[in-house]
Amino acid sequence: MAPPSWTTVARLGGDEFAVLLEDTDGLTGARRVAERIAESLLTPFDLAGVSTVVGASIGIAATSGEPAGGAALSEALLRDADIAMYAAKAEGKGRYAVYAADLAAANLDRMQLKTDLTVALARDELSLMYQPIVEVATGGLIGVEALLRWTHLVQGSIPPSEFIPLAEASGDILPIGRWVLSEACAQAATWQLLRPAGTSPLQLAVNVSGRQVTDRQLLPAIRAALTSSGLAPHLLTLELTESVLFAEEEGVMAALVALRQLGVRLAIDDFGTGFS
């Protein structure tokens, strides 16, 4: 099968790209191109001496291409392709999805959830649960990990796998993250006072996203949380995904150095599931 007569590739911004196929044989041709793109990205390439692989989630939208559509048609195509792309991303890395009406309905639900998340903190719908960290040799409690939970006013419990990506995409993760640090440090400090004499201090682990690391307010927020709670810096561990270390955002390493200088500990979360 011959390739499409016209193919236009453009960068929309950030890590999003668009491929416009003209005079192709409908969705069959579009799927074939998507498969070729995904396959080509499987080939490792050298990045500063490191063999690297970059995946992609691909959304496909098709139209009959009536000229009368104009700008509105172009916007609709991009919107539908974006909806399909999020559907592909939800299925896992290196996949593609074709736009359908049910995806649009799911996207509306997603956008509503995103809006609700913005006010979840003000409505006291967010809470923290604490997972115990136990020393295997003694069976004693040596620390806790703070886990964020969302109990929606209407939908009930929303899993973190759904709302954390929404919070990161919208930027709501920043105020929510500062609240988590403040609440968790205060709780850990309270438990510290209840520890039996002679036992080791209770460690506190808090997850921090890449978006938070590059936030200029993170360091002041940690200082404020430690000061107000009285929790010693070395008792706080910030858990980072390894993708943060590979991020190209300016200031990531400087932020990590500043955090270590403050005295808090840094740990790699989900080690072995990604680059490592």
> pLDDT for 166-202, tens place per residue?
888 788 999 999 999 999 999 999 999 988 887 889 9
Exposed, middle or buried: residue 108 (CB in 10 Å: 0-12, 13-18, 19+)? exposed
- Residue whose entry in the numeric block shows the structure tokens 């396959």: 39
pLDDT value at position 225? 96
Give the integer Cα–Cα distance in Å for 164 and 148.
9
Number of Cβ within a 10 Å radius of residue 41:
16
pLDDT value at position 6? 66
pLDDT value at position 176? 95
Q: At what angle do helices 70-91 and 101-120 cross, to 10 degrees?
A: 80
SS (H, E, C) the chain: CCCCCEEEEEEEECCEEEEEEECCCHHHHHHHHHHHHHHHCCCCEEECCEEECCCCCEEECCCCCCHHHHHHHHHHHHHHHHHHHHHHHHHCCCCEEECCHHHHHHHHHHHHHHHHHHHHCCCCCEEEEEEEEECCCCCCEEEEEEEEEEEECCCEEECHHHHHHHHHHHCCHHHHHHHHHHHHHHHHHHHHHHCCCCCCCCEEEEEECHHHHCCCCHHHHHHHHHHHHCCCHHHEEEEEEHHHHCCCCCCHHHHHHHHHHHCCEEEEECCCCCCC
Confidence of residue 243 (pLDDT cuts 50, 70, 90): low
Distances in Å between the Cα of 150 and the Cα atoms of 123, 124, 162, 187, 225 are 11, 9, 10, 18, 22
CB 270 within 8 A of CB 241: yes
Q: What is the pLDDT of residues 27-82, one digit of tens each?
A: 888 888 889 988 888 888 887 777 777 888 898 888 765 544 566 778 888 888 88
6-99 and 113-269 share one fold: no
pLDDT value at position 54? 80
Q: Which CATH superfamily is domain 113-269 in?
A: EAL domain (3.20.20.450)
Q: At what angle do helices 218-229 and 173-194 cross, to 10 degrees?
A: 20
Give the integer Cα–Cα distance in Å for 136 and 188.
21
pLDDT value at position 235? 96
CB 236 within 8 A of CB 264: yes
pLDDT value at position 4? 47
Provide mean pLDDT across the span 146-169.
90
Q: What is the pLDDT of residues 217-241, one digit of tens each?
A: 999 999 999 999 999 999 999 998 7
pLDDT value at position 66? 54
Whole-structure pTM value: 0.66
The mean pLDDT value of the chain amounts to 84
CATH topology of domain 6-99: Alpha-Beta Plaits (3.30.70)
Domain positions in the chain: 6-99, 113-269
